[in-house]
């Protein structure tokens, strides 16, 4: 989360098509760099976890390499979808690719306790990290195989051609500012709720739930976002109703946090579960919709650039929200996170206002249709 905002600006040039490159070679190069770094990170982390090595520094180095790889990988889905899929599948492909990251996190959270036992952690942890290294290496091989053929739906953008229109003009457009502010609040709320879910729920409801239930609820929030994102993607491919969809999803995210706070106040477990599911559904489904909405509004700027900026501001907001909400917890009252949750809900309703201010013509679709 720290390295991504610092490094993302330097990754853009690696996605550019160079002179005499085949179409889409820049995208292939950027993805391959990220995959190579991720595979190296997996191997280094495994070496650092071997019992015969005092390897905290080695393991931390591997984690740092993985963080660098992340700067090449997170913002790829919208550009990859536009390059490799037909127009009527772009949003669905983006939804699958963007949601796969959260799905992987959910699987990791679920599988790690099954693979690592406290009594045998000295052998279980190296095995877990070896498994991660093998998976990362397998991904690199699959990427190399996939890119043996050229991109079938390649479309030029500003990272591919010399143009007087620069990506810096994004920051002069009101719709982009409002979009990035809205998404950053929603993403920050995701980080805060997932990270602090135990602190939010256990003090007021400790007699009814424990850490295991909280973990299951957090995993459920991650899982429900996947089918929701796909359904939203299919809908957008058929209708191109980006503005309406994003406004509805942002309002759902705000209302679900309000519902969560009220459910805690009234000790309603059903309300808590429904609110968390609604928040996971809306907050994760809105991300791929916004990535392609940005691609439409700010065409011919590459989809990677606005998506990268949204991730950057969102990561920063996540760090701030988690820290501030954690610091402002009041253990003297039963609902210790009441004030932080009120502030979070207000922030999400502000994000609804920002999202409503986003508008403009769908330039990319108009270009393709012409």
Residue entry with tokens 């490159």: 21
Share of the chain above pLDDT 70, in %: 93
Boundaries of domain holding 355? 165-359
CA 129 to chain centre: 23
Query: Does residue 121 lie within any of the structural domains?
Result: no
Q: What is the pLDDT of residues 346-360, one digit of tens each?
A: 999 999 999 999 999
Residue 212 confidence (pLDDT) above 90: no
Give this prediction's pTM: 0.83
Query: Does residue 66 lie within any of the structural domains?
Result: no
Query: Does residue 215 lie within any of the structural domains?
Result: yes
Query: Does residue 52 lie within any of the structural domains?
Result: no
Number of domains the chain is built from: 1
Query: Does residue 334 lie within any of the structural domains?
Result: yes
Q: 240: left (phi > 0), else alpha (psi -120 to 50), else beta?
A: left
Query: Does residue 354 lie within any of the structural domains?
Result: yes
Q: Where are the alpha helices (DSSP H) in 74-173?
A: 76-84, 90-115, 121-146
Residue entry with tokens 């005499």: 20
E strands, 152-286, in order: none
Query: Does residue 17 lie within any of the structural domains?
Result: no
The reply to whether omega before 318 is within 30° of 0 (cis) is no
Task: Show Cβ contacts of residue 357 under 8 Å, excluding neighbours closer than 6 positions.
Answer: 174, 175, 178
SS3 356: helix
Residue pair 355/247 in contact (Cβ under 8 Å)? The answer is yes
Q: What is the pLDDT of residues 33-42, one digit of tens each?
A: 999 999 999 9
CATH of the domain at 266: 1.20.1250.20
Query: Does residue 331 lie within any of the structural domains?
Result: yes
Mean pLDDT across the stretch 239-259? 95
SS3 53: coil
CA dist., res. 305 & res. 179, Å (int): 14
Q: What is the pLDDT of residues 5-59, one digit of tens each?
A: 888 888 888 887 776 667 677 888 899 999 999 999 999 999 888 766 668 889 8
């Amino acid at each position: 989360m720290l390295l991504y905002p610092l490094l993302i600006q330097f990754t853009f040039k690696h996605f550019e098509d160079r002179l005499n490159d085949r179409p889409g070679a820049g995208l292939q190069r950027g993805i391959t760099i990220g995959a190579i770094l991720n595979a190296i990170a997996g191997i280094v982390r495994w070496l650092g976890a071997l019992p015969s090595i005092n390897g905290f520094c080695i393991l931390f180095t591997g984690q740092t390499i993985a963080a660098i790889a992340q700067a090449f990988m997170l913002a790829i889905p919208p550009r990859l979808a536009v390059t490799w899929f037909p127009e009527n599948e772009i949003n669905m492909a983006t939804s699958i690719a963007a949601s796969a990251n959260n799905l992987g996190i959910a699987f990791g959270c679920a599988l790690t306790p099954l693979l690592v036992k406290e009594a045998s952690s000295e052998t279980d942890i190296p095995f877990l990290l070896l498994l991660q290294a093998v998976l990362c290496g397998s991904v690199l091989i699959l990427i190399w195989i996939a890119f043996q053929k050229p991109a079938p739906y390649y479309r030029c953008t500003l990272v591919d051609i010399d143009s007087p229109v620069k990506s810096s003009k994004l920051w002069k457009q009101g719709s982009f500012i409002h979009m990035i502010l809205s998404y950053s609040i929603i993403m920050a709320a995701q980080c805060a709720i997932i990270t602090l879910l135990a602190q939010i729920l256990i003090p007021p409801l400790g007699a009814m739930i424990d850490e295991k239930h909280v973990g299951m609820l957090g995993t459920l929030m991650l899982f429900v976002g996947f089918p929701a994102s796909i359904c939203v993607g299919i809908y957008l491919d058929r209708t191109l109703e980006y503005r309406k969809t994003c406004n509805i999803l942002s309002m759902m995210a705000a209302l679900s946090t309000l519902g969560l706070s009220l459910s805690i106040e009234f000790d309603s477990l059903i309300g808590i579960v429904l609110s968390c599911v609604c928040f996971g559904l809306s907050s994760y489904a809105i991300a791929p919709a916004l990535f392609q909405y940005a691609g439409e509004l700010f065409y011919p700027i590459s989809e990677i650039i606005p998506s990268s900026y949204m991730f950057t501001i969102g990561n920063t907001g996540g760090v701030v929200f988690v820290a501030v909400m954690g610091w402002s917890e009041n253990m003297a009252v039963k609902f210790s996170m009441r004030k932080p949750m009120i502030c979070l809900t207000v922030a999400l309703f502000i994000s609804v206002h920002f999202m409503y201010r986003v508008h403009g013509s769908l330039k990319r679709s108009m270009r393709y249709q012409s």
